[in-house]
Amino acid sequence: MKPEGGGNDGGGEIGGGNDGGNGVVFEEGSSSVVADRVKSPEQRPRDKDMRTATWAASPNHGIVFDDTWKLVDDLEVLIKRLKTKQMKDSKTKSENSDVFSDPGWSRELGPSTEMNKQIVWDETRHDYAVFVKDLGVLRSRADGSRSREEAFDGHMAIGRVLYDQQLFKESLVCFKRACELQPTDVRPHFRAGNCYYVLGRHSEAKDEFILALDAAEAGGNQWGYLLPQIHVNLGIALEGEGMVISACEHYREAAILCPTHFRALKLLGSALFGVGEYKAAVKALEEAIYLKNDYADAHCDLASALHAMGNDDNAVKEFQKAIDLKPGHVDALYNLGGLYMDMGRYQRASEVYVRVLGIWPNHWRAQLNKAVSLLGAGETDEAKKSLKEALKMTSRVELHDALSHLKQLQKKKLKGNGNGEDSFIIVEPSKFKTLGEKTTLRQDLATALDIRSFQRITRLFRCDVELLRKEMNETETPLSYSGYGVPEKSIRKAALECIIRRLLSFLKAETFVGAVKAINLKILSVLDESESGRVDLGMFFAVLAPICGGPPDKRKRVAFESLLWRPVNEEGNGGKIKKADALRYIKLLRSIYIPSQSMSETLEIHGETDTSLVSLTEFLPLFDDQDWGFGVMSTLLKLENGDRNRHGNHVCSVCRYPIIGSRFKEMKAKFSLCNQCYSEGKVPPNFKQEEYNFKEYANGSEAVKDKCMWFSSSSHQSKSSSGTSTTANS
């Protein structure tokens, strides 16, 4: 794709091509560089424009020295020879470019195609080794040129020819050598970044694009036309690492530099959607579509953003536009199926998933969703078949649970999907009573389950709280001032994303994106209520600490230390924090993690007149207060410790899934509920009572122990009564 406003050579956006979303770098004129027949130097100047790729004659990126043409001619002969030898066994990978979205958001589905027609080179063969050896001779000839500039020209040209023939590893060697010859030139860094990205080495691609960006900015107007492309490619490389907020900044910069860059706007919208910024995503995607109305991927992601905002009717229309433009667009079809399921149109959803499977037969998620939608449509037998097909594709534990669930539904002969009005009734909270001190209150469990779900999405429970302390000790954060003149260690969201990446370094890129989205929606949206794009880092650490891994006492201590680390508390307070700040923190904590808490109740620090200080010892009771603090943490710890506990063959009497975690047994009617159904107040419809008394069993052994105690008690009473009668008889 040619960059707007620049030269004869597009520079090659990652995934640029024809904006069809084929996956990686496309550069203008990726056809064969020279004709099959080697021509004489006399002929060369006369017809080089006719026989070369566009880039070769470009004033900015083309071949400068005549000896470089000789290298290119000889290289073409080597490539043709290699291609001829490998042609018999080699296969060309032709994929339907309609299937995948552009790099960026909304591509859950597998690896993208690299190019419409991908050449597969067998690097293990002898002829390939001979080719590499001969190529080394050409590189040596380039190195032996009369000047540094000519050597640079030779390596760049060899690299471009190799790149066009999809010999990416070999082209990378040339571009890296060119970087050594002219370190401040933008082009070799840019090309090397493209190669690294195609090879899946996103971190190294990012580093090269940053070097290209630095060189372009230092070079003044000379490389100005290439800046938007560098920003876009850097953004895509960052997304490859999962750094979506950081990518947004570069897409935004590209769109500012080149307002007609519809691809930058599309990628910006997709990335914003990826981190939960739905309104901003819709705006960017609509702008991209305004500039390019037939942009199927933009329609697809716009539909997803509209669905996330609850605008389902328009979302369906946008998905349909994407599918009309690209009938085999898997992303659009798959997401449309999910939308129909959310709307309760199960039959329509199953039909869409059938279309997905027609394009991608081994897509297990589509197969699973087809089973769920058939279940929703009341076709239990067909759902079971579909689920078994999904099991053949993958052996994930949730599929085994789903199959077990289906069997339970069939046994109980529940109507519909097992979740209709006939399968449960919802009881008001006052009718749920607890037996024993260990039994969790229904509302506390509902809140703790919500926090636990957030922990699972973000994987923060696997992040030791000690890492927060390490970040505070090692992070140099300059002071900034709020509108009220209060000093803060605030940080931009993109910089904060880098800290989160270090904390969650064990996550794969795609999982990390989901974690950042959840953190942005739940935490950053509250901490950055003014939408300034900056966050108080100390308060962020304090809010994160209670849900990280580690002993509860250490979590609370690190939360306190995070508040102490903030400028408002750290000066001359003798290891104490302002009570007003402690209360503000606890109210923030509740507003983030406890849905019933209103943000309007949050104390504003600038309006507080209480200047008293509290130590850690005084802070802990405030934190642990059941009504006004974060007392729900004790229930959360119980969930953390028991979320792998299974209870033999016990299934929930409402949802029919195997019980994992705690089992809540109603002591009179003797039915059992899982965590979720208990927290939602669901009971089987055939057990209508004025009051329900539940006892919680954290694991199966507790229930066995309780049963043994009951038998022991019954046996003791029986013996006592027996002994009394014997004495009387005697």
User: CA 290 → CA 18, 228, 253, distances in Å?
Assistant: 17, 19, 19
* Residue in the block written with tokens 């691609």: 205
User: Do the Cβ atoms of 19 and 292 come closer than 8 Å?
Assistant: yes
Structure tokens at 520: 């942005």
Query: Which own/partner contact pairs does 218-226 have at CB distance under 8 Å and 24+ positions apart?
Result: 218/184, 219/184, 219/186, 223/186, 224/6, 225/3, 225/5, 225/6, 225/7, 226/3, 226/6, 226/7, 226/11, 226/186, 226/190
Query: Which own/partner contact pairs does 204-211 have at CB distance under 8 Å and 24+ positions apart?
Result: 205/233, 205/237, 205/240, 206/234, 206/237, 206/238, 206/240, 206/241, 209/233, 209/234, 209/237, 210/234, 211/179
* Residue in the block written with tokens 């530099």: 257
- Tell me the residue type at 644: R
Locate the DSSP E strands across 85-153: 92-94, 117-119
User: What fold does the segment set 328-410 form as a domain?
Assistant: 1.25.40
pLDDT at 572: 54
- Residue range(s) in the chain whose domain bears CATH number 3.30.40: 423-440+645-709
* Secondary element (H or E) of residue 650: strand 646-651
How does strand 117-119 pair with strand 425-426? Answer: unpaired
Tally Cβ neighbours within 10 Å of residue 122.
12
pLDDT at 258: 93
User: CA 729 → CA 721, 722, 724, 725, distances in Å?
Assistant: 13, 11, 9, 6
Q: Residues, the chain, total?
A: 730
CA distance 32 to 362: 36
CA distance 36 to 76: 8
What are the per-10-residue average pLDDT scores of the chain (730 residues)?
Answer: 36 43 32 31 42 60 85 92 78 44 34 51 91 94 93 94 93 96 93 94 95 89 88 95 95 95 96 95 97 96 96 96 94 94 91 94 88 86 84 72 63 46 80 87 91 94 94 78 64 94 94 95 90 91 96 96 84 79 93 69 47 90 91 91 78 87 90 92 89 87 66 52 42
223-237: buried (b, 16+ CB within 10 Å) or exposed (e) per residue?
Answer: bebbbbbbbbbbbbb
CA distance 4 to 600: 47
Please calculate the CA angle 120-122-127 and round it to the nearest 5 degrees: 130
43-66: buried (b, 16+ CB within 10 Å) or exposed (e) per residue?
Answer: ebeeebeebbbbbbbbebbbbebe
How does strand 613-614 pair with strand 490-492? Answer: unpaired
CA distance 646 to 506: 27
CA distance 675 to 661: 7
Structure tokens at 317: 């229309």
Structure tokens at 637: 């710890």
User: Do the Cβ atoms of 306 and 315 come closer than 8 Å?
Assistant: yes
CATH number (3.30.70, 1.10.357, 3.30.40, 3.30.1360) of 423-440+645-709 reads: 3.30.40
- Residue range(s) in the chain whose domain bears CATH number 1.25.40.10: 328-410
pLDDT at 725: 43
Please calculate the CA angle 535-539-544 and round it to the nearest 5 degrees: 105
pLDDT at 479: 61
CA distance 446 to 30: 58
Structure tokens at 20: 């069809």
pLDDT at 2: 33
Short-list 597, 582, 583, 659, CA closest to 632: 597
